[in-house]
Amino acid sequence: MEQRIVSVVPGSIAEELEIEAGDVLVSVNGQTPEDVFDYRYLINEEQLLVLIRKPDGEEWELEIEKEYEDDLGIEFENGLMDEYRSCRNKCIFCFIDQLPKGMRETLYFKDDDSRLSFLQGNYLTLTNMSDHDIDRIIKYKLSPINISFHTTNPKLRCQMLHNRFAGEVFGKVRRLKEAGIEMNGQIVLCKGVNDGEELERSIRDLTGYMPELQSVSVVPVGLTRYREGLYPLEPFDREDACKVLDCIQRWQEKLFREHGTHFIHAGDEWYLLAERPMPAEDTYDGYLQLENGVGMVRLLDEEIRESLSGITGDSRERRVTIATGKLAAPILEGHVKKITEKFPYVSVQVAAIKNCFFGEKITVAGLLTGEDLIGQLKGKDLGSRLLITEHMLKSGEPVFLDDVTVEELEKTLQIKVSIVKSGGNDLIRSIIE
């Protein structure tokens, strides 16, 4: 697949050779790169023969001598240099299938691409991967690879993913283990489907892939109000959450005694639902599953504690509001209390926003929309500033899931909005400065 060049880095090897935007990369050392990993692998060499086609059809054959692993400074139209691979499954718990109609098109794309697992930390089911794909992961040592297991019962996995080949992936996992490829896993737990004895079985089976499989998280299924015609799933309650945590804790104690790692981790939502305290920091084994909602509450608490220990309180006055989901609101109120003990004239209101857009069963802050923020905060005295977490927004853009922008939120509520990053120090600074 030939690759169109969209830009050239100033001062780079490519600029010196007069390679320009609009040119096409045909081959490197006689090979046409299959994707970005092929390209990176090919250009690592010290001597290259690069074939470039100019917009008028003229071809330039460029001999390049450079240091090993030096970049050429070429940027392409597509970051992967290939088509993104979509998911072929029809999972009973798929969140994308629970989205309402009329949202932006990109939200409906289901990726299941091993390259995005390596580049962005996305989880994949392995059902979309051929032996050639596994060969390339091993060849390029792409790790860690994040895998959505959900269950190790082959028949049940076929049912949960609605894919008759879904139970055949464990040979691929074995190949990755034998090649020394680091992996992390996840289980989306569905009530009455893959919990109970099935969860016990899955954890037991997955320990067989240690230590290359470094960790596995267990997170509860998210259920929106748009499930008409989908598999009938029920939300977990407090008693269910306690049973899940009891199971995970037993395995953690056993595995830590035998291997020095806790391996299996419960998402923060389980502890909040069970009304149990978060585990100690060392239980998280270095927060390997942080992006999957495992340990975020504990890490934030530790960061706030550490940051406050290095700050001298004063008599500054300030009044702000923090908007968050109903699940995290009580935890955030606890953090705020610690901050205002040092800054007694700083007033912080925590607004627990009900998720009307997706449904009240969705309680996490990351799935709140601009529409719900406006609907529940308009006309209220919010102080001098409204704080929202960066997790509510599209990555890199000030846009909520429903396409409401931060600017529109500010105009409607007539208040300045600050976007708070995930760190404890960021939260403190956003409140007091």
The token pair that represents 381 in the structure block: 């005295």
pLDDT at 397: 82
Mean pLDDT value across residues 271-291: 93
The pLDDT of residue 178: 96
Which value, in Å, is the radius of gyration of the alpha carbons in the chain? 25
Q: N- to C-terminal Cα distance for the chain?
A: 52
Number of helices (H), then strands (E), belonging to the chain: the values are: 14, 14
Q: How confident is the model at residue 1 (pLDDT cuts 50, 70, 90)?
A: low
Residue after which a domain boundary falls, among 261, 293, 325: 293
Q: Output the six-digit token pair for 72.
A: 């050429």
What is the per-residue pLDDT for 119?
A: 46
Give a yes or no: residue 309 inside a domain.
yes
Tell if the pTM clears 0.75, that is, is over it.
yes
392 with 417: CB under 8 angstroms?
no
- Residue 353 scores a pLDDT above 80: yes
58 with 157, same domain: the answer is no
CB 234 within 8 A of CB 361: no
**Predicted confidence band at 79 (pLDDT cuts at 50, 70, 90)?**
low
Domain ranges, residue 313: 301-432
pLDDT at 237 over 70: yes
Q: How does the average pLDDT of the chain come out, rounded? A: 88
Question: Strand 123-124 to strand 24-28: parallel, antiparallel, or no bridges (unpaired)?
Answer: unpaired
Q: How many of the other CB atoms lie within 10 Å of CB of 276? A: 15
Based on the domain organization, do 68 and 126 belong to the same domain?
no
Q: How many residues does the chain have?
A: 433
Q: Distance (Å, rounded) from C-alpha 116 to C-alpha 133? A: 13
- Which residues share a beta bridge with 358? none
CA separation for the pair 2, 78 (Å, rounded) = 11
Q: Provide the pLDDT confidence category of residue 104 given band limits of 50, 70 and 90.
A: low
Higher local confidence (pLDDT), 401 or 158: 158
Specify the range with the lowest mean pLDDT, choosing from 34-43, 191-200, 386-395: 34-43
pLDDT-derived band at 105 (thresholds 50, 70, 90) equals: low
Q: Note the pLDDT tens digit of each residue in 139-172.
A: 888 788 889 999 999 999 999 999 999 999 999 9
Cβ neighbours of residue 111 closer than 8 Å, sequence gap 6 or more: 84, 85, 86, 87, 122, 124
Whether the per-residue pLDDT at 134 is higher than 60: the answer is yes
Q: Which of 240, 273, 293 is the last residue of a domain?
A: 293
- Are residues 276 and 189 both part of a single domain? yes
The total of structural domains in the chain comes to 3
Q: Are residues 16 and 137 in the same domain?
A: no
Helix (H, G, I), strand (E, B) or coil at 416: strand
C-alpha torsion 61→63→66→71, nearest 10: 10
Establish if 91 belongs to a structural domain: no
Residue 93 has pLDDT above 90, yes or no: no
The whole-number pLDDT of residue 83 equals: 52
- Rounded to an integer, the average pLDDT of 276-293 is 92
Asked whether residue 126 is domain-assigned, the answer is yes
Q: What are phi and psi of 355, to 5 degrees?
A: -85, 90
- CATH number of the domain bearing residue 146: 3.80.30.10
Give the C-alpha separation, 116 to 429, whole Å.
33
